[in-house]
Structure 1
Amino acid sequence: MTQAKQQNSEFRVPKRLQGIQKSNIRQIFDSALPNSINFGLGQPDLPTPECIRREAIRIIEEGNNGYTSHMGLPELREKIVSEYPHLDITRDDAIVTVGSNEALFCAIFALCEEGDEVLVPNPAFPAYPAINRLADATTVYYRMPQDLGFGFDAAEFEKTITDKTRAAIVLSPSNPTGRTLTRDDLKTISRILEGTGIYVISDEIYKDLYFTDEKPASISEYYEKTLVVGGLSKNMSMTGWRLGWLLGVPEVMKKALVVHGYDTVCASTISQKAALAYWTPEGKQAEAEAREIYKSRRDLLVSLIKTELGLEAVSPEGAFYSMVDVSSIGEEMEVVNKFLQNRVITVNGSGFGDEAKGFLRISFCASEDDIRAGVGRMKEALAN
C-alpha cells in the first residue's frame, strides 16, 4: 500500500465537527425500550390539520411540483410577512426554509465567521451551539437563572457582551423551559443592544403555542437588527413537512439566501403550497383548538407531578414542555434511566445547559391518557 493510500485509510474528522455529537435528546430516545411513553421529544402527537392534508393531496394529484425559486413561493412569503406587520419589509426579505433549523443555520452562517461570538441562553435548544461551531463562531452563554424560574436576567445578559459579540439568540417561548419573554424583557434587551451593531436572532417557532392571555411579543417590535426564525412544525403538527422561514434585515437576508440556495435549493414545493391553508379560517381554527388541547395537558401534567410524585413542575407559559425539579430524589441522569427502565422517556435538564441541572424536561406531546399512564409508571419507578 502506498503512503498516500495509508494516509487516506483512516477517516480524519474535520475540526469544525470535532466535539459535536448527536443531541442528548436523541441519544436518550434511541435507547428507549419498546412501547415507552414519550415525554422526551418535542414532536406533536396531534395530526396535521385536515385542511393542510387535503390541500397536499390535491397538489400532488395536480402534478405541477417542480422547484420553486430559492426564496420560496411569492404568495407564501407574502403570508409569512403579514405575520409581522410592525416590520418595514416585503416578501423579498423572507426565505422559506426546510424547517426552522435550516433558518437558524442560514442566519448564523450569513452573520458569523471565526472569532465571532454568539450569545445563547442557558438553558436552551442544543442546536444553537452546534450550528455556531459549524460556522466557526464561539458560543457564549447568558444565564436564565433557576432562582428566577428560568426567567430573563438583564445583568446576566449584559455582562456576556464583548467587542467580539456578533449576534444574540433569544427564544420565546423557550425550549426547554416554556418561559416567555415579557415586553419589558424585550425592551431591556433592545436598550442594552442599541448602538452595538449586534444582531438578534429571534427563534419564534413556538410563538403560536402560548397559554397566556396575550400572544408573546417579538423582539423585532423593538429592535431593528433582528432576524426572525419561524415555521409551522409545532403549532400545526408539521414537523415532517419541513416548512420554516427566516425574515428580517434585508442586507443579511441577501447573504442568507446564498447559504440557503446552495444548502437546500428550496423547501418542498408540496409543503409550501399546502402551508397556504394555514392562513384560512379552517387553519387558524385548527391552531386554536390545538392550543387548548396542549393547555389542558399542561394543567394535568403539572398537577399529577405534584400530587403523584411530590415534585415541583414549572407551569409553562408556552411551548409544550415542563421543567420538573428532581434534585431532591437523585442525580438527574439516574432518574432519567430509572424512568427509561420503566418505559417512560424524559430528558435531563443539563442536556440543555448547566443552568437546568437537577431538572428534567417533560414534553406533554402525549394524550391525557398517556400522561396519566406515564406519571403512573414514573411513580412505580421511584418506588422501586
Structure 2
Amino acid sequence: MSDPFDVDVVIIGAGFSGLTVATELRRDGISFVLLEARDRVGGKTEARHDGLGRLVDTGGQFANDDMTEVLALARDAGATRVDAVHPGRAVTVPPSPDSDPWAVADTLLATLGADDLHDERSVSQWVDTETTTASVREAVRSMVNGGTCNDSRIIPVSYLAQLNQRTVTTNEELQCWFAETMHGLALHLAAPFAHHIRLECPVRSVHVHDASVDVVALDQVWHAREVVVAAPPTAYASIRFTPGLPDDFSTAAAAFAPGTVLKYLVGYSAPFWLLDGRNGVGQFLDPPGVYFADASLLDSPTLVGFVGGTTAAEWARHTEAQRRDAILHHAAAAFGDDALRPLTFLERLWGPDEWGGGGYSNVLTTHAPHAADTLAAGLHLVTFASTELSASFPGYVEGAIHAGRAAARQVVQRLGSA
C-alpha cells in the first residue's frame, strides 16, 4: 500500500450529511478527506438530462418552508425556487365513497405520539383497530407504503410516532423544488473542498486504536484522529470494523432496512393534469404507494410520479417497457388518456444497494424506538451521521444536514479538547 495520508478526520460518504460534516470541519480548520463509493456526491439526490436536454432531479427533489437548512443552502447557491402547490382538487384512484380519505388518514397518522412509542404493532395491525372507513384504512396503508418505501405490514407504529416527534411541519411536504435541482445544491456544497473528495473510493475497513483510526479504501490507508461514517445504517455491514461493533450497536443498525421507490419524470406538450379544477395531485388507494404531482418548469409541462413500497418492489421485477406502460396507464387512470402520449420519459429505480440502502432512506421495520439515538451517540473515535439518525426531519435532505451538523459538533468538541 502507498504511504497513508495524515488528516484529522476521515469522512465516509458524500451525501448531504457527509458534505455538511466537511463544511463544518473546514470552517473550524480541521483537516479531512471525504471518501465516496459512488462516482458522484449527493447521496439520494441525483440529476440527469431528460429527452429534451433539461437537467432534472431523479432523486430527492422537494422541500417546504419548514426545511430551513435546505432553503438557506438554496439561497446561498442562488437557486431558483419553484412552487409546486396549486389550487384545486386532488384525484383519488379508484374513486372513494369518502369525500377525502387522505385528509382523514393524515389526521389519523398525526395522532401517533409519545404514548405510541412503545406500540409494537405494525401500521396495518394498528389501523385495522381504528374506528374509520375502509377507504381511510387503504389511504393509511398507501401513504405509509409510499412514504417509507416499504410495507405497512412491517412498519411499526412506534416508528411513525417517533417520526411525528422529529418532523414538525405545517406545510405541504412537496411544497417547492429548485430549477437548478436539489443535486445542484449538493454540488454547490461540495465545491469549496472538491480537492478533498475521493470518488469511487469505497471504504472496506476501519481499524480503531486507542488514539487514532486507520481507514482502508481501495489500495490506500488513511491514518486519522477520528472517522465519521456518513452513510445509512444498512451500509455499516459493508465495512469491517476492528474491533467489531458492540452488540447493542449492531442490533440497532440491523433494525433498519432499505426500501424501494421508482421515480418518473414525464414531459408533455400541455399540463392537462391541472385542468377541470384539478391541482395535479393523483393518489392511489390501489395499488398502494402510487402518487403523482406537478413538476412543471415554465414552458416545460412535467408530471412526476412515485411508486413506493410493495408496489415498487413488485414493479422492479418487471422489464423497463412493462414499467413504462404501467406508470403511463396509472397516470391515464388519474388524468385521462393524454397521459399515454408523453414527449419525454425518464425513470429512476432506487432499490436496495450496498451503499445507499434504497430509497428514500433506511427505515425501522422492527420495534426499536431507541435505535437511532444509539447509533447517533457513536463509539470511541467513530461518529455516525445520516438522515436516519437526525433529531429533525429524518429521511429528508433537511434531516441529513441536521445530522451532519450534529456529528461535526461532536468531532470539533473532542478534537478541540484533545
Shorter chain as denominator, the TM-score bin is under 0.3
Greater share of strand: 2
> TM-score, normalization: structure 2?
0.23
Taking structure 1 as the reference length, what is the TM-score of the superposition?
Answer: 0.25
Higher helix share: 1
